[in-house]
Structure 1
């Protein structure tokens, strides 16, 4: 287009004098028509070139922007899959809000680099090459003067880009922190309200938001330097072009049309050159975000699934001199644990808080690996078995119950590929929750609030038990999951375990000793050690730790 406009202007300059010479002659009218037709032709060519440019720009954006969206999709899927691969220790070290920030905000920053930044970067480079080659073909002298401000532009970009990178990393980290605060506050909103701490947390969030705002404004101020600087340099180039171009026209080295051509070239470079700062900012932000993403993508889980050995408990679960230290805290949870649980046995584990009861359950599930010693299933080291197959064999109801924001039916049938309502009701009856569900307005179609907030603690526990039992597993682990139900309901659930799961292995972690009469083996833990083991009658006769707990519990019940 600039070349067409140059030819049009040169055509006018060349013919305007002749047009004036024909003043008063009839030929002037014909000459006028000749000039008009040619200018219309030049105008048509400019419109055609603009249309062609628009078509190619459309396909360019379709190619690159769509590609960036597809990569964004793949990257989010990759991070999500990595999150699912990572073990329990990882989630204890990292906050949920920060994980969410990396899969949302950081991925979006990377997409901006892969899409718009690449798009305009390619546009910048290709346009620079084409325009500069065209300029030097016309006039080397004028080109050198016109491009004189560009080295200053490069130096300024280099300096400011490094500043942007550092500030972007800090901002993304602060954003992840803000997300973590929000997630924690919303999850614990009932506690915050019950302690009337809304104002305190509001001030805390406001303070951290101001920190984010201040850091963002610092980055915005740095970014704000780019555009005025670019426009100043482009304006200087335009002035130089007109001044030097005028001198060159006087000397006869170029035509007046060349000056117009060069001015258009300079203006064509205005947006690409101005966008250098924006592109640099996006690249630096994407670099910081990709670094944060890579921090998680590069983590290899300590629990790996490298085996195809299917688990089907036939004999026993055995702990052989097992010690365990939590990797995130360094706390020793278990020490010298020797334990054998035969298939079909009903085992009870009791002990004070932090005595190691839950740790035994987590080691059987292989949420962690033992620090020393071995855990054997049917004589094979648990580390040599397929993790998915192992967990499929086990129904686990943890202390920290979790229900999804879905219907009660779907929560109970969560572990199954498919289910029917009759099956759901059957296992809800086993968990002594069926009657209460049917009394709800929508029955099994009732929606459970986020994390089960619309249900009582006892209801959540029993729904969780039904969800575990419906898997029909070979191993059932109930980790203090009957604490919120009454003694009668607990006895009913335990009765089901005794009568209906004769060939299954059940491990019950609880504090209610009077309900442990029918267990094959009772383990008493203290400070990570097994201090007593045996049946109820045997442990009572020992008059040791178990007996003391039983007496204390009976005394408390008599007082009530």
Structure 2
């Protein structure tokens, strides 16, 4: 916890110090009325008739007003400190997620990730509360015991007898409450994942008529949360009743002892009232310290979950990188990938200097994995991927040279224009009219007219239309390396063929790497990489591989079918 929080504590050390000072100041301020009331009572009991009583009364009223105003502004300061801390932690976590290797990222459940960035971060954000509360409450207890000792040593000793009993009771009940709350949090994390799955795959659940079964599974989760919440609430109420009864009974006993001390003139009535007022203050910091123990445990659980995510971060964002201005060639130098003991790619060696190359192979042969390694989503277990002879990890802003489009469109919930521009500030890219022509978007070109360019993309767009918008995004920056992974599988063969030919004309100097199952797109003179079972079977002209592999030659003769 300390390692994770150190950089944040250094940043907010001044605010933390100010908050500790202000907390102690307001604590001292809160004690003043108790002393003033004591003075007033002693005046009344002694029968003194003096204007000072009226002055004290007016001062008390003014004091509460001023104290409330100061508390308001101080709390605003405290709240801002925590919100800024939560902001920094969340940004740090999001930055770490952006650096996680793609294979590791796929193992993370989105629901649990969402829970971590909301509930777990909020829990860790309480670390400042924990630190400040620990210091302030210890000082409060010491100060109160010292003050109460001056009133009556007998009363404070008798009062302290209940403290161990009170702490043990609170400890017992809090332990049970934390257990139930932890179980609820676990259920809520799973619940978030279930909701995410339900909304994302709602259509397929409907099509297969299992929507009711899915809802039944969700309802079981909800029922479990209700049961755990009920148990936690009942334990909390039981704790409140038991501790309240014991402290109430003890107060009656203390009142009886105090009355004896008053009759024996060992303390005054004002001192007794002061004692009871101050002793009530003592329960709060004791209770707070017990709560801190459990808060720390809860924070530790949240920290471990977040730490596990941040430890997955592998991306190197160091500044010592090599700048390049163009892409001449791409090389896979003895590249292998092993995941969980399984060989995904093995001993891949080739060098691409041609301006266009196709990657072919059956499903699961390693085509997409190869592409993900090229675009730095996956890091090889062995070997290097090089551009212009330089390992891609050492190239500054390597991904800015790449335009990539997958079979899945990854359309964001925004306008057509913003889906294409995609937060990039590019002045030398394609014009919208050029993209309409290149991608044959005339079938819904009205959307691309200037007055409609800000329209939000409709969910009713076909897969082919959405794929072409995603391809427009990849082409927008005129990338040096264009990577297409089944990027136009949603359009008919003839349209895909025309679009690929136009891309050759629009990007004559760019390296184009195309993964496809449509063998008929490939000309005899085109260079191909043929993968099977994670091995490089062939690298060369397509006309040569057809002579070796009759199944590929047969697929080629099938014509326009997929």
TM range (shorter): 0.7 to 0.9
User: In the TM superposition, what are the counterparts of 1:169-248 in structure 2 within 5 Å?
Assistant: 169-248=182-261
Q: Which residue of 1 aligns with 2:169?
A: 156
Unaligned segments of structure 1, at least 5 residues: 16-33
User: In the TM superposition, what are the counterparts of 1:4-403 in structure 2 within 5 Å?
Assistant: 4-15=36-47, 35=49, 37-112=51-126, 114-115=128-129, 124-269=137-282, 271-272=284-285, 282-301=295-314, 307-325=320-338, 327=339, 329-342=340-353, 344-386=354-396, 389-403=397-411
Query: Would the alpha carbon gap of residues 394 and 454 (structure 1) be closer, same or farther in structure 2, given more than 3 Å must change?
Result: same
**Per-residue CA distance 1:299-335 (angstroms, 9 max, x = gap):** 432666564112444432122332222x3x5432222
User: In the TM superposition, what are the counterparts of 1:419-438 in structure 2 within 5 Å?
Assistant: 423-438=431-446
Q: Which is worse superposed, 80-89 or 307-316? A: 307-316
**Per-residue CA distance 1:235-282 (angstroms, 9 max, x = gap):** 133212211111112222112222222222233445555556666554
Q: Which is worse superposed, 83-92 or 434-443? A: 434-443
Structure 2 counterpart SS, 1:354? coil
**Per-residue CA distance 1:345-393 (angstroms, 9 max, x = gap):** 211111110011111211111212222233222222333333xx22111
TM-score by length of 1: 0.86
Q: Which is worse superposed, 154-163 or 410-419? A: 154-163
Is residue 471 of structure 2 the alignment partner of residue 461 of structure 1? no
Structure 1 counterpart SS, 2:98? helix
Match of 2:502 among 487, 496, 499: 496
Look at both structures and tell me which one has the larger radius of gyration over its CA atoms: 1
Unaligned segments of structure 2, at least 5 residues: 1-32
Displacement of 1:10 in angstroms is: 2.2
Q: Which is worse superposed, 367-376 or 282-291? A: 282-291
Alpha-carbon distance between aligned partners in 2 of 1:226 and 1:378, rounded to the nearest angstrom: 70
Q: Which residue of 2 aligns with 1:417?
A: 425
Query: Would the alpha carbon gap of residues 118 and 218 (structure 1) be closer, same or farther in structure 2, given more than 3 Å must change?
Result: farther
Number of residues paired by the alignment? 529
Alpha-carbon distance between aligned partners in 2 of 1:376 and 1:421, rounded to the nearest angstrom: 26
Structure 1 counterpart SS, 2:537? strand
How well do the aligned residues superpose, as a CA RMSD in angstroms?
2.9
Alpha-carbon distance between aligned partners in 2 of 1:519 and 1:416, rounded to the nearest angstrom: 36
Displacement of 1:58 in angstroms is: 3.0
Match of 1:507 among 509, 513, 520: 513
**Per-residue CA distance 1:469-495 (angstroms, 9 max, x = gap):** 111111111101121111221121111
Alpha-carbon distance between aligned partners in 2 of 1:230 and 1:253, rounded to the nearest angstrom: 30
Displacement of 1:556 in angstroms is: 6.1
User: Quick check: 1:61–1:119 contact (8 Å CA) kept in 2?
Assistant: no
Structure 1 counterpart SS, 2:359? strand
**Per-residue CA distance 1:205-229 (angstroms, 9 max, x = gap):** 1112223333333433443343224
Displacement of 1:46 in angstroms is: 2.7
Query: Would the alpha carbon gap of residues 269 and 209 (structure 1) be closer, same or farther in structure 2, given more than 3 Å must change?
Result: same
**Per-residue CA distance 1:116-174 (angstroms, 9 max, x = gap):** x6676666445433332221111111222233211212223344444445444443333
